[in-house]
Amino acid sequence: MKKVRFLKWLLSVCLVLLWTAPSMAQVITLRLADQNPATGWGPVHAMQPWAKKVEEATKGKVKIDIFASQTLAKGPDIRNAVKSGVADIGFCFHGYWPDLTPLYDVVTLPSLPPRSAEKGSEMAWKLYEKFPAMQKEFSDVKLLNLWTSPPRFILTTKKQVKTLEDLKGLKIRISGGPPTEQMKAFGAVPVLMPGTEIYQALEKGVLDGTDASWEAIQSFRFYEVAKYYTFTSLSSTNFSLVMNKDKWESLPKDVQAAIMSVSGLEGSKFFGKNWYDTVETSAIADIKKGGHQMITYTMPKAENDRLRKATEFIWSSWVKKLEAKGIKDAQPVLNAYMDMLK
């Protein structure tokens, strides 16, 4: 009798191990480094839902742990953190590294932003697919998604910017690459700094203003320290979600396919739309709810044209700069981008 009971117990243990061991082995946990606060609009409406999409697409084989607010790596260090394996996946703001992906930076050329982030993100991915030279810029990582911001505008603390002349001498935070050259052409003083430091710099007067998107204004609460909103089409900023190459290659093929089923072109459009295009109404509601001043000004077409004419030379100088470095596809990439804008 004791032997029978022992055999039944042994059988039950084996069945438990049979059912639990494979399921435990199938769960692959990936660490995602993000500089943004977990409660920000983009993380809540794009990053976290995308992570959920990955889990669903892989049928629970993959779980993504998001380390928000720079808890795994600082914003400017995230790309290297992914390459070294400190993070498996990383949110990358390309304004930190203006020479890292020069062809991808075509989407940041001044006065050329598309009408929406979703459209800009679609164009960015299609350019990546079209040009092997752009693909080479991501050869040291596995690229999952590309996305852009919508046209950025000007947010200032002490005075409203209404004309080109109003920008002269102002210290404006801007991202690296073409947007920096744009602000120089306006006569302003471009300042490079991580997005997480802008609030304090505006508050202390280190900055007079910043280029702005509604997502950043809401997520980092810039509306608490700046009250002048000048709506003009400056440029777009660009982003990517990349994965450690060795980690990617270690994944089973079916898992890779499942991840890319919610990434690539559709994933890029998803990020652009949900990170940026859906936030404006919510941001304005938060500003009003907090009782913060919001003094707005929309630049008329004539003044917008002046800003555009002041920076058009940057398009050709961008091409010449890249060609001088041996990057022959700069003009074809710009031509393709301009065609897409039409």
> How many C-beta atoms lie closer than 10 Å to residue 56's C-beta?
12
pLDDT at 13: 47
SS3 annotation, 154-206: EEECCCCCCCCHHHCCCEEECCCCHHHHHHHHCCCEEECCCHHHHHHHHHHCC
CA neighbor of 173 nearest in space, from 63, 96, 91 = 96
Task: Give me the amino acid identity at 17.
Answer: L
Which helix (H) or strand (E) segment is 112 a member of? none
**Predicted confidence (pLDDT) per residue in 227-281, tens digit:** 999 999 999 999 999 999 999 999 999 999 999 999 999 999 999 999 999 999 9
pLDDT digits (tens, 9 = 90+) for 150-167: 999 999 999 999 999 999
**All CATH 3.40.190.170 domain ranges in the chain, comma separated:** 27-150+237-277
Q: Is 84 exposed, middle or buried (0-12, 13-18, 19+ CB in 10 A)?
A: exposed
Task: Tell me the CATH architecture of domain 153-234+291-311.
Answer: 3-Layer(aba) Sandwich (3.40)
Q: Report DSSP state, residue 228.
A: E
pLDDT (0 to 100) of residue 275: 98
SS3 88: coil
Q: What is the pLDDT of residue 21?
A: 43
Termini Cα distance of the chain = 84
At 116, the amino acid letter reads S
Check: CB of residue 103 under 8 Å from CB of residue 69. Answer: no
**Alpha carbons 32 and 66: distance in angstroms, whole number:** 5
**Whole-number pLDDT of residue 26:** 83
Within a 13 Å sphere around the CA of 326, how many CA atoms are in the beta-carbon half? 0
The predicted structure's pLDDT at residue 306: 97
What CATH number should be reported for the domain whose range is 27-150+237-277? 3.40.190.170
Low-confidence residues in the chain, pLDDT < 50: 4, 6-7, 10, 13, 15-24
62-67 and 209-212 beta bridge pairing: unpaired
Closest C-alpha among 149, 184, 178 to residue 164 = 184
Q: 3-state class of 142 per DSSP? A: strand
Sign of CA dihedral 299, 302, 305, 310: negative
Question: Where are the CATH 3.40.190.10 domain residues in the chain?
Answer: 153-234+291-311
Write down the pLDDT at residue 247.
Answer: 98
